Structure 1
C-alpha cells in the first residue's frame, strides 16, 4: 500500500494534466465554492481538487447537447464518459460512485442505485456545478467518489423583473430527427426585502440515429423524450442579518419512443431500433417525477461571532425502466425514493488576529430515506428499506499568515435501516432455467462509525499553491441489490457491511503568467470492503465485496495569450486493484464498469469579431485493454470487455446581435464519427452493444432582458 501511494505521488510530479474551460477569460482564482465546507469560501482555501462548471460553460455546452451527463463528460476530467442513454451507469468519479445534489438536496438513491441521479435536472436552471472530487463524508451516504452539486439560479439584480428566454431546435442529416426545446427564466425584487426566481423548461427530443442514419437502441434511449423542469424560489430578508427562503424544483421525463428492438452481436453488429415496439409494458420509460422542496433560514449573527444556517427538505423521486425478461413473467421495474431531512450548521469564529484566523463549523444532519424497487405489477424486486441517519459533525479551519490553511473535521455516522419481509424474484439463468423464489425475513440493520478528514493548502505565491488531504466517506451503497439476490432466508446472514473509503490526495495549482494557469493532482483511495458488479457463472450480475485500491492522476492547463483566443486541455488516468480473497494479493484489477479509460479533453475558442465566438471541443478516450476473454468461449465477462479508443469533435458558435439578442449554433460529433460508447464494449453483452449518436446540429435563439 505504501508503495502505491508513493508511486502515484511521484507520478504527479512529472505528469501535467488539464481541465477544459469554456471562457475567453483566465480561470478566476478567487471563485467562491459552497459545497466543499457547506459555506461560501474562496477556492484558494480548499485543500483538495475542485471543478467548477460555471454558467457560461453550461450555456456553451447546451448549444451542443442538453443532456447534463454529456455536459459533465466534457468539463470534469476524472468523470467517466457518458453512456449516451438515460442511465448514467458506469459514469463514475475517480472510479467510485458519486453523490448528486441539487442545492444540497440529495438526488442519489444509494440504497438501490438506479443510475439516473446525474440526469435529474435541466441545465437551463443551473447557475453553476460544483464537483468535489474524492471521498468525502460532508453530505453523508453515497459520496465514495465525490459530490456533484447543482447550484440553481437565483435573483441577481435589483430590477423588478429580468430574465432570459431561449428557444432551439435540433436535427440530424436524416429525416424524422428534429427536436425542440424552450426555456424561460424570470427573476427580480418585488420590494427591497422580497425577491424571487422562477423558471420553466420543456424539451422534446427527436429520433436519434448513428452516423449511418440507423435508429439507436430503444433501451434507455433519450430519443423521443419529453423533458420538463420547473423552479420557483421565494426569498425574504427579515433584516440585514436574517433571511428565509423557500424553493421548489421539479423535473420529469417521459418517453414516447415506439421502436422495436433488434438485438445485435457483441463486437460485430450493433443493437438497433426498428419497426414498432411489441406491446410489452404499459408505463413509458423515464423519470415521471423528481420533486424537491426546501426551506432555509440564515442568521449571520445568531450571537457574537456565530452564524446559523438551517435547511429543511423533502424529495420525492420515481424512475421507470424498460421491459425486462430476466425474471419470471417479465415486467418493468421502477425505483421509488422519498427523502426528508434537516441540516443544522453553526459557524463560530474562534479568533481573528492580524496574522491568523480560526473558525469552527459544527452541527448535525438528519436524513430519512425510504427506497424500494418494485415491478409495475406490484411485485417487489427489493424489500422496502427505511433508513434513518443522524450525524453530528465538526470542522475546524485555521488560516496562518494568509498563506497556510489547515482543516480538520469529524463526523459520526449513526444509521439504522428497517428492511421489510419479501420474496425474491425468480430470475432466469444462463441455461434458461429459473432460480427458485425464496421468502426472506426482514429486520433491522445498524451501522455507526466515526469518520474524519484533515488537509492543508499552502499558497506560497501566485505561481505555486500546494494542497494535500486525507478524507473518508461512509456509505451503504447498493444494499437493495445485495438483498434482492439473497439466497438466505434472513438478512442477518448477508454481507451488508458499509463501504468506508480512505482518500489521499496531493496536488499543486497556480498561475505561472497572467495568461497561463494549471493544476496537477494525484490521489489514492482505499476501502477494506468495496462493492463492484461482477458476473456470476450463470452470467447474472452480483456484488463483489472485497478490499480495493484506486489511484490516479489528473489536472489541467489553460492558456489565455490574448483577449480574442484561449485554449487548453485536460488529462485523467486511473487504475483500480482488488483482493477478492482478502489475502493481501492485489493482482486482480477492478473491472471497467468502474475504472474508466484515460481521457483527454482539449478546446480552443476564438473571437474573430467582437460579437462572434467560435469554439471547438475535443474528447479523446484511450483504448482500455485490461482483461482477457475466456480461453474456451472467447467471450468477455461483464465489465471486462476491451474498449477501443475514439476521438470526437464538437463545434460551438454564438453571435451577439445586440445586448439583448443572441443566436447560437452547435454541432455534435462534427465529423460524423461512427463509434460506440464505452459501456457498449465493457458490458460485453449483445443487448448493450450499441452505436453512439451521429452528427447532430442545434440552433438556438436567446433574448435577455
Structure 2
C-alpha cells in the first residue's frame, strides 16, 4: 500500500471487508474497481470508501439465500438489515438513500422511490458488487448515501466455449416450502469476438417462520417466479479499441394466493392463511427490468488520452399489492424509463520518476421519465420528465509514491417537466376522506456546482490514513411530495433538491501479514433532508428539514493459516434534525433511516483442499430512540427495535475440477425473530416474523 489518495466524486473509506473474506486460496486482495472514478483503478490507489463483494463471496452467499438484499446485509457493514420482502424500504446506506447501478446503468427511481431497486438482478450473473459509501455525485441523481454497482460477469477465457451450470433446491421442514432454481452461463472467445450469455430461473416455495406459519403475503417473496437473462457481445477492433453491446433483463412475478390475518403490533405477528380475496388483478413483483448498453473504448484516442463512451436505456415497471389507503382502493405501479449517454476522457498530464498527474473529464446526459399509476389508470403521481446534463472534471496527482490527492467538480443542470394531475382522495384512519384536488404542473429547474476532494497517505503497510469531503445532489421522492399536495400549483410546494456534504476520516492497514483492519468515522449534513413520516390519513409524507448523520464503522480480518480465516465488522450511526429550522438539532431522524448498530462476524475453514465450511453471524443491537405517545403508541419509524442474532451455515465440496456440491442453511438455529422494519414501522400490518430455518442444496458443473 504505497499511495495516498484523495477522491473527487465519491470519498469515504476503502473497505475491503467483503473482498478480504474471499482471500482464502487467493494470492492477494489487489483488485481493480470501476465505480469509484468510472475507470479501472487498483483499490490501493483509491481514497474512497469502498466495499468490494467478490465473485466467490457472492456465489457462497447464493447457496444460503438468492435474495440479493440478504447477500448485501451480510457483506456491507454500514447497510441496514433486510426486510426479507420484495421491498427494500429502510435498507439505507449510512442513513441515506443509495443509488443502485447495473454495470453503471441506474436502477433506482429517485423521482418516485419505489424501493425495488436492490432486487433488480439475479446474483448468478454478478461478478462482484462495488459499494461506494458516502455521498457521491459521480453517477448523478440519487446517491445521497452512496452507490451500489452490480458488475456482471465477463468472458475470461480464450476458449471458444466454457460454461457454468447450476441447479439447486430450497426448502424448510414444513410442507409446501420446496423451491428450485437453475442457471446456465456460457462464455467464450472466437477470434476478435467474445461473448457471455446467461439464463436463470427460480421458483420459490412458501416462506414460513420458525414455527411453520406462513409469513405475511404483503411484499412476500414466497411463490415467486424470478427470471434473468443476459447477453454480452464484444469486439476488439484492435489492441486499443473495443466495442461492446449488452442486454440484461430481469422479472419477478408472484403467484401467491394467501389471505392476510393482521396481527397486533408487538404481540402477535401478521401472517398468511387460507386463500386471498383476489383483490389484486396483477401479480405483485417487477414484471420487467430491461437494460440495454452500448459502449466504445479507445485506449489511445490521441497521445496520452483514452476515451470511454456509454449509451444506455433502462425500462422498468414494478407492481405493488392492493391498498385501501385511497378511495376505491387498488394496486399501483411505478413505471420508469431512462435513456442516457456518458463520455469519459482520461488524459495523462505528466509522468515523472516520483510524481504523475491525470485528468478525467467528460459529460453525462440523462433523461428519466417516471410515474406512479393505479391499475385502473388513475395517476397517483403526475408524469415527471427529468433531463440532467452534467459536465465534470477530476484531477488526480500522485506524489512521492505515497501521497495521492484527488479533487474534482461536477455541474448539475436539471430540468423536470411535471404534468397536470388530480390527487387521489385518501382514506383517513377514522374512515373519513380527504378531497381530491387538481394540481397544475409546470417546469422545475435546478442547478448546482458540487465538488469532492480527498487525500490518502500510505505511511507504511501497517498504517494508511485518508480523509475526504464529497457532495451528492439529488431530487429524491419528488413524486411522493407531489402526490400528497395540498396546493393547486407545484410552484408552491417544497421541492428543492437534497445536497449532502459528506466528511470522512479513517485508517487502514495490515499487521503481521495476517491481520487486516480498517476504521472510519463520517459526518454527512444536508440543509434539506427527506424522511418518511405518517400523516393522519395514513399516507406517508416527506418531512423536509436540516439534517446531520454521523457514525463509525470498521472491520478486522485474521488469516493465521491457509486453512482458516475469521473476522468481523461493526457499524454504528446516529441522525439528528432541526424540525423547526431554528438550529435546534434536538430531534432525531427516525429509525426508517437510522438503523441499529450491527455486528457481522464470520469464520471459514478448509480442513482439506476440496472442502470449505463457513459460519456467518449477524447481530443487530436494540434500538430505543423514541418515546410512545400518551396511549402507548409509537409514530411511524419510531418503534422500539429489540436485538436479535442469526447464524447461517455455508459449505461446499469440490468433487473434481468440474463438479461441486454446496449446502447452505439460513437461520441455522431456527430462531424466531422479526426484521427491524416490523418494529420501527409500529403498525399492526407490518408486524411480521422473519424466515425460519431454510436449507439450499446446489450442484454446479463447470466446463
Deviations 1:375-413 (A, max 9, x none): 000000000000000000000000111110100000000
Tell me if structure 2 keeps the 8 A contact 1:499–1:530.
Answer: yes
**Structure 2: how far apart are the matches of 1:474 and 1:484?**
22
Tell me if structure 2 keeps the 8 A contact 1:209–1:694.
Answer: yes
Partner of 1:248: 247
What is the RMSD computed on CA atoms of the aligned residues?
1.3
1:227-626 alignment to 2 at 5 Å? 227-626=226-625
Deviations 1:425-449 (A, max 9, x none): 0001121101000000000000000
Partner of 1:131: 131
Tell me if structure 2 keeps the 8 A contact 1:88–1:118.
Answer: yes
Partner of 1:639: 637
Tell me if structure 1 keeps the 8 A contact 2:397–2:405.
Answer: yes
Tell me if structure 2 keeps the 8 A contact 1:180–1:204.
Answer: yes
Q: Give 1:658 shift.
A: 0.2
Tell me if structure 1 keeps the 8 A contact 2:325–2:539.
Answer: no
- In structure 2, the residue corresponding to 1:601 is in which secondary structure? strand
- In structure 1, the residue corresponding to 2:322 is in which secondary structure? strand
Partner of 1:655: 653
Tell me if structure 1 keeps the 8 A contact 2:16–2:52.
Answer: no
**Structure 1: how far apart are the matches of 2:228 and 2:207?**
22
Asked if 1:703 corresponds to 2:701, the answer is yes
**Structure 2: how far apart are the matches of 1:587 and 1:29?**
43
Q: Give 1:608 shift.
A: 1.2
1:135-174 alignment to 2 at 5 Å? 135-174=135-174
Asked if 1:50 corresponds to 2:33, the answer is no
**Structure 2: how far apart are the matches of 1:53 and 1:452?**
27
Partner of 1:41: 41
TM-score by length of 1: 0.97
**Structure 1: how far apart are the matches of 2:46 and 2:156?**
26
Q: Give 1:17 shift.
A: 12
Tell me if structure 2 keeps the 8 A contact 1:26–1:560.
Answer: no
Tell me if structure 1 keeps the 8 A contact 2:326–2:424.
Answer: yes
**Structure 1: how far apart are the matches of 2:539 and 2:627?**
19
Partner of 1:85: 85
Q: Give 1:498 shift.
A: 0.1
- In structure 2, the residue corresponding to 1:78 is in which secondary structure? coil
Deviations 1:653-683 (A, max 9, x none): 0000000000000000000000000000000
Q: Give 1:306 shift.
A: 0.2
Partner of 2:186: 186
Report the CA distance shift for 1:440/1:97 in structure 2 as closer, same or farther (over 3 A). same
**Structure 2: how far apart are the matches of 1:657 and 1:512?**
36
**Structure 1: how far apart are the matches of 2:21 and 2:29?**
13
| Segment drifting more, 196-205 vs 39-48 | 39-48
**Structure 1: how far apart are the matches of 2:522 and 2:48?**
10
Q: Give 1:22 shift.
A: 4.4
Deviations 1:350-393 (A, max 9, x none): 00000001000000000000000000000000000000000000
Q: Give 1:473 shift.
A: 0.2
- In structure 2, the residue corresponding to 1:514 is in which secondary structure? coil
**Structure 1: how far apart are the matches of 2:40 and 2:237?**
21
Asked if 1:676 corresponds to 2:679, the answer is no
Q: Give 1:18 shift.
A: 6.9
Partner of 2:690: 692
Partner of 1:71: 71
**Structure 1: how far apart are the matches of 2:555 and 2:623?**
22
**Structure 2: how far apart are the matches of 1:611 and 1:526?**
49
1:213-232 alignment to 2 at 5 Å? 213-232=212-231
Report the CA distance shift for 1:480/1:579 in structure 2 as closer, same or farther (over 3 A). same
Aligned residues: 689
| Segment drifting more, 207-216 vs 20-29 | 20-29
Tell me if structure 2 keeps the 8 A contact 1:676–1:691.
Answer: yes
Deviations 1:554-603 (A, max 9, x none): 01111000011000000000000000011110010000000000000000
- In structure 2, the residue corresponding to 1:331 is in which secondary structure? coil
Asked if 1:117 corresponds to 2:93, the answer is no
**Structure 2: how far apart are the matches of 1:258 and 1:392?**
50
Report the CA distance shift for 1:25/1:468 in structure 2 as closer, same or farther (over 3 A). farther
TM-score by length of 2: 0.97
**Structure 2: how far apart are the matches of 1:18 and 1:555?**
9
**Structure 2: how far apart are the matches of 1:507 and 1:225?**
42
Tell me if structure 1 keeps the 8 A contact 2:551–2:573.
Answer: yes
Tell me if structure 1 keeps the 8 A contact 2:369–2:383.
Answer: yes
**Structure 2: how far apart are the matches of 1:301 and 1:104?**
23
- In structure 2, the residue corresponding to 1:468 is in which secondary structure? strand
Q: Give 1:44 shift.
A: 1.4
**Structure 2: how far apart are the matches of 1:330 and 1:393?**
46
Q: Give 1:460 shift.
A: 1.0
Tell me if structure 2 keeps the 8 A contact 1:26–1:559.
Answer: no
Partner of 1:630: 629
Tell me if structure 1 keeps the 8 A contact 2:17–2:52.
Answer: no
Partner of 1:3: none
**Structure 1: how far apart are the matches of 2:490 and 2:215?**
41
| Segment drifting more, 319-328 vs 39-48 | 39-48
Report the CA distance shift for 1:266/1:627 in structure 2 as closer, same or farther (over 3 A). same
**Structure 2: how far apart are the matches of 1:28 and 1:37?**
22
Tell me if structure 1 keeps the 8 A contact 2:426–2:537.
Answer: no
Deviations 1:601-639 (A, max 9, x none): 0000001122111110000000000000002x1100000
Report the CA distance shift for 1:298/1:373 in structure 2 as closer, same or farther (over 3 A). same
**Structure 2: how far apart are the matches of 1:17 and 1:185?**
28
Structure 1 unaligned segments of length 5 or more: list them.
1-11
**Structure 1: how far apart are the matches of 2:577 and 2:529?**
9
Deviations 1:35-66 (A, max 9, x none): 00000111111112200000000010001000
Tell me if structure 2 keeps the 8 A contact 1:26–1:558.
Answer: no
Asked if 1:664 corresponds to 2:662, the answer is yes
Q: Give 1:210 shift.
A: 0.1
Asked if 1:196 corresponds to 2:216, the answer is no
Tell me if structure 1 keeps the 8 A contact 2:17–2:75.
Answer: no
Report the CA distance shift for 1:384/1:270 in structure 2 as closer, same or farther (over 3 A). same
